[in-house]
Amino acid sequence: MFLQQIANALALGSVYALFAIGFTLIFGVLEVITLAHGAVFMVGAFAGLIAVTRFNLGIIPAILTSMLASGLLGFIIDFVAVRPLRKKKYHHLAPMIATIGCATIITSISQGIFGAEAYRFPFDFVPTKSYEIGDIQLTLLQLVIIGISFSLMIMLILLLKRTKWGKAVRAVAENRRTAALLGIPVERVFQITSFTSSALGGAAGVLTGLNFNAIHTYMGGPILHRGIAVIILGGMGDIRGAMAGGLILGFSEIMSVAYISSDFRDAISFGLLFLILLIRPSGIFGKVPERKG
Amino acid sequence: MLKLENIAKDFGGLRVLNGVSFEISEGQIFGLIGPNGAGKTTVFNIISGLLKPSSGRIIFNKSDITNQPPHVVTEQGISRTFQNIRVFEDMSLLENILVGMHRLFSYSSVSMFFDLPKKKKEEKQLREKAMDILSIVHLTEKADLKAGGLSYGEQRKLELARALATEPKLLLIDEPAAGMNPAETEELMNEIKLINKNGYTICLIEHDMKVIMGICGYVAVMNFGEIIAEGSPEEIRKEKLVIEAYLGKDEKSA
């Protein structure tokens, strides 16, 4: 029973991690909390759904389509709402509020198109098979979700570690002025980061839609709150932190439903986050701010 | 090579640079000296594109680079280091250098997923080149360590090496010897001379007169946002205005 819950938690937590990893990357590089990340997630889910229902694509092409669509959306949000404020050197708050505006507009338009009802993927889109490993029963769907989200996260880490643009992104995250002086086109790095992070958010949307077999226009709100909690828990701007934080949140949610009560799910998991932050205020991987003497 | 024409800069109502003009010719080690607050670093910030001048022009190799953003100035061939160290602490020394070589990479990011021979070859070349650059400042053994763990003097050297990695024609160095002990300073002077011999023109801000006198071929002295004297180190040493600016009226010397 306990092992079974671990499998469930891994499926849920890996999607949280995937959502949060892009969220935290944007913060680390652009120093903006994009509150439109939930809306991007929702649009990604619908893009994946349309790719499947209209164009009969399989799961991998559908996820790629969703990533392309949500990545473009992220790019546009940056271009329209964040970039002009960046040029005027308003930091943190003004761009954050601008992204709330974007989220509202995107959600309203989506509700205009799709209404408020929940959509589903076609029956047996991911065949209802399951595999038994010892006492654990893993459904094919869970394997797909865990597999895809971890592959995407590993790919992101490799991109950041190994490629020219990855190094540029890390350099800008550490110090954008120095990076600019070394010949890195910082503006382009911002655009690449917005695209990539949003693409991952969109993929998380499709996987969530599959996991709960429901896609609706207001699915961005709850995940956004969780995402914020996860990136604060993990340490703002830290990729490993977002992964760890996502998994911890997934585990605490599943375990509180399994062993306590589903009524207390959010209270327990957010209470746990609060406790961790009391012990490590800058998050699990967050740097303790140095005291300047 | 680099020519500043009548550069002025106001911060609010305060004029911090007032008609600064000088010219650096190719192959020189040019020293920019002056008391604290004279405006030396502001001059560097304006040349490198971090600040815009209120008036005046900057000509680099016959093209006007006034008001260009920093990455364009770097592309034109001007690189700089900072007075307060700004290495990327979370990256290894080698990665710090590779970031500096950003615009020299040609292969696309997609190709990292495939082991193309061309990419491998290029990557190997770039790594070798990065190691060569590290060897100028004697840091090759620490190439894979995180830059944050280096000593103060070593971080300064790494910063210098990283600036070299952008393949500049002109290197602006802001107070390289600050916080170094005499032995480190000595080594640094030799390294700067070596860099200069390898074909880089250098402009140096420095407080340590020993460094200036030891390596600069030409010196300009600033005080209160203006150039008050220029010439060879020997000439400058005798200049009355300079002695006044430095020794002042009973103030501590630099």
Report domain extents, chain B.
Answer: 2-247
Confidence (pLDDT) at A290: 53
Chain A residues close to B98, C-beta within 8 Å: 167
Identify the sign of the CA torsion B82, B85, B90, B93. positive
Best residue in A181, A196, A285 to probe B by mutation, most B CBs within 10 Å? Answer: A181
pLDDT, tens digit (0-9, with 9 covering 90-100), for A134-192: 778 888 999 999 999 999 999 999 999 888 888 999 999 998 888 888 888 899 999 99
Q: Scan for tokens 């300073």, then name that residue.
A: B185
CB atoms A168 and B95 under 8 Å: no
Q: Which of A72, A21, A23, A1 is nearest to A224 (CA)?
A: A23
Confidence (pLDDT) at A163: 83
Q: Which residue of B has its CA nearest to A169?
A: B99
Which parts of B59-197 fold into alpha helices (H)? 70-76, 93-100, 117-136, 152-165, 182-197
Q: Name the band, by pLDDT with cuts 50, 70 and 90, for residue B93.
A: very high
- C-alpha A52/C-alpha A66 separation (Å) is 10
CB atoms A182 and B82 under 8 Å: no
Q: Which residue of A has its CA nearest to B74?
A: A183
* Angle formed at CA A32 by CA A169 and CA A286, multiple of 5 degrees: 70
Chain B residues close to A176, C-beta within 8 Å: none
Show pLDDT as tens, one digit a residue, over chain A (293 residues): 788 888 889 999 999 999 999 999 999 999 889 999 999 999 999 999 999 999 989 899 999 999 999 999 999 999 999 998 888 877 678 889 999 999 999 999 999 999 889 999 988 888 888 888 877 888 899 999 999 999 999 999 999 988 888 899 999 999 888 888 888 889 999 999 999 999 999 999 999 999 998 999 999 999 999 999 999 988 888 899 999 999 999 998 998 888 888 888 888 888 888 888 888 888 888 776 555 43
Q: Name the band, by pLDDT with cuts 50, 70 and 90, for residue B3.
A: very high
CB atoms A185 and B82 under 8 Å: no
- C-alpha B197/C-alpha A200 separation (Å) is 49
Tell me the ipTM for this assembly: 0.74
Min Cα distance B99 → chain A (Å) is 6
Best residue in A163, A164, A191 to probe B by mutation, most B CBs within 10 Å? Answer: A164
Q: Name the band, by pLDDT with cuts 50, 70 and 90, for residue B251.
A: very low
Fold of B2-247: Rossmann fold (3.40.50)
